[in-house]
Amino acid sequence: MYYFIPSWYSGEHKWAVETPYWFRVFENMSFDDTVNQLKMFQNLKEESAILLLSYQPQLRYFVHKQGLLNSPYWSFFDDIQNIRREETSFIDFKEFDWPQGVRFVYTPFKVVVMEGEVCIADVHFAENGNLLQIHFLDGEKETRRLQFDDRGFLSSIRYYKDGIAAYQDYLNEFGVWQVRELLTSKEHKLEVNPQSDKGFRKAVYQDWEELFAERLEVLKTEVLSEQDTLVVASDIRHNDLVLDQFKAYKKIFSFFGDRFDLTNTPALARVMAESDLIVIDSEALELALQQEVAKHSLVVRNMTRVTPFDTRLRLGQSQTIKELIIYFLIDGLSKELVDQAIAILLDVMEENPAIELHLLTYERNHSMKQLSEQLLEKIRKDYSLERFVSVESKDGENQLEEDESLELSAIKFLALNNENQIIEELDLTRLVIDLSPNPHLYTQIASISAGIPQINRVPSEYVSHMENGWIIRNMEELSTAVNYYFDGLSNWNRSLVYTVQKMGDYTSGKIIAKWKELLEDRT
């Protein structure tokens, strides 16, 4: 059995996930190694489960969104709160014990509870419409914050004194507090309700780690077997805890992106020495890790680079349309480089009227509107308007008059924030361009799955020059690379055949087989 310990943490609390209010959900594109590793194991029907250490009362919606709703899991906070409910129920906040005569005022972002002319509470909702939190107010200061579980009950209450968090009670599903966390700067410990459902060994714990140690010991006795393997998303929050509590178990630590600070030498040294296998997601991270290992002469038991993303045959439909769509990911590039690349692509587009350019970002801070305005101004000045824009006048006729409204028709600007949007956009794409120093790993794998050639500036194991892509040596080569795949179909078709063959290197079966082989080498 494989047990996955994810790095699902966010917000101020070390051991919690802070679910955003529904109107703040748009985020940068985020990927998670545990999510994708679990999917691969499930595809192969390998026995797997999640060991969740974080407080995440909106967990069901999160795993549903990730396509993991049926994944079995053990939750530390469910355990200490004695929550066993699996079914969900609806909560109507209006049925709570409100003062007589209150009004519920609906705003675009929340529901405000008014007693006369005074706001006594704010009601907040999650992305899926679930009741998320209720903040009780006394004037400008918060007095209580109720946190709800997406299964349909009150999960915890945070109490405030003079507007500052004092303590938080974690409740069972019937509203009885089980564990109290003191939150003041003077005192930060855990107290157990003398009438709690669980048989805790102590009445007071100095920190969460002490309580983790106790409950994980019970988990090992009642659920786990020493033949099981732990797959740990390497994170400074829980690495020591896992290494301390699971000494006898096989452990795979997954290094992903910049989640773990490689310059934290003592923490890195322990993980490298005590894990059975280190899995790294990218060539850049592998190089950085090797440099730290060499610099500090660290002991490495077993280390390999394996993508957390598998290929799944979903060839695109770009051959069915006349437009030649370029998917140009601009993340990781300086403004100067973006401008230079766009200028080259505009020249190519002017020569080939079938090309359509899609400029994409996965980052929230990119102003696509500003880029659109700048690009329109450049086209006005240097290019034929008819090639790149559609013109609509107030009477609806296409003409260039003073009252014209110009809109770029051959160029689109897209901000994507999930994997499904990437897959959908790639479906009609003919060519992918990613010129960043570290090409986006998921986009590379998804492009292989769709059979699309890629243009990069740096070599990687995923793109072979003039086979399923082009590694340009300088920016002047960009137009040559585009024309190589757009002048006729022979080069593009050859790339498709090569890509389909390459797909076999990154299937779930191949990736997991490699893990198992490396683990067996350690035994």
- In this structure, of 173-177, 184-188, 447-451, 468-472, the range with the lowest mean pLDDT score is 184-188
The per-type count for the chain, helices as H runs and strands as E runs, is: 15, 25
Is 157 in contact with 168 (CB distance < 8 Å)? yes
* Predicted confidence (pLDDT) per residue in 129-179, tens digit: 889 999 999 999 999 999 999 999 999 999 999 999 999 999 999 999 999
Quick check: helix, strand or coil at residue 252? strand
C-alpha atoms less than 13 angstroms from C-alpha of 315 in its C-beta half-sphere: 12
Average pLDDT, stretch 100-120?
Answer: 96
Is 398 in contact with 390 (CB distance < 8 Å)? yes
* Predicted confidence (pLDDT) per residue in 225-246, tens digit: 989 999 999 999 999 999 999 9
Quick check: helix, strand or coil at residue 120? strand
Average pLDDT, stretch 418-432?
Answer: 93
The distance between the two most distant Cα atoms of the chain, rounded to a whole number of Å, is 81
User: Other CB atoms closer than 10 Å to residue 448's CB: what's the count?
Assistant: 27
Q: List the structure tokens of 481.
A: 């690379």
User: Other CB atoms closer than 10 Å to residue 31's CB: what's the count?
Assistant: 17
pTM for the structure as a whole: 0.88
pLDDT at residue number 70: 86
pLDDT at residue number 301: 83
Is 259 in contact with 233 (CB distance < 8 Å)? yes
Q: How confident is the model at residue 289 (pLDDT cuts 50, 70, 90)?
A: very high
Alpha helix segments (H runs only) across 265-418: 265-274, 283-296, 335-351, 368-382, 385-388
Mean pLDDT of the chain, nearest integer = 91
pLDDT at residue number 319: 86
Task: Give first-to-last CA distance, the chain, whole Å.
Answer: 17
* Predicted confidence (pLDDT) per residue in 306-320, tens digit: 888 887 778 889 988
Backbone angles phi, psi at 106, to 5 degrees: -90, 125
Q: How confident is the model at residue 27 (pLDDT cuts 50, 70, 90)?
A: low
pLDDT at residue number 404: 55
Q: What is the 3-state secondary structure (H, E, C) of 134-148?
A: EEEEECCEEEEEEEE
Average pLDDT, stretch 17-26?
Answer: 72
pLDDT at residue number 127: 84
* Predicted confidence (pLDDT) per residue in 394-411, tens digit: 555 555 554 456 788 899
What sign does the CA torsion over 348, 457, 254, 451 have? positive
Contacts 24+ apart (CB under 8 A), 350-355: 350/383, 350/384, 350/387, 352/324, 352/486, 353/387, 354/322, 354/323, 354/324, 354/486, 355/323, 355/324, 355/325, 355/326, 355/410, 355/482, 355/486
Residue 193 has pLDDT above 50, yes or no: yes
- Residue corresponding to tokens 């060991």: 51
Residue 30 has pLDDT above 70, yes or no: no
Calpha distance 383→274 (Å, rounded): 61
pLDDT at residue number 403: 42
Q: How confident is the model at residue 300 (pLDDT cuts 50, 70, 90)?
A: confident
Q: CA geometry: angle at 73 spanning 69 and 77, to 5°? A: 115
Calpha distance 320→55 (Å, rounded): 48
* Predicted confidence (pLDDT) per residue in 454-500, tens digit: 999 999 989 999 999 999 999 999 999 999 999 999 999 999 999 99
* Predicted confidence (pLDDT) per residue in 308-357, tens digit: 888 777 888 998 899 999 999 999 999 999 999 999 999 999 999 999 99
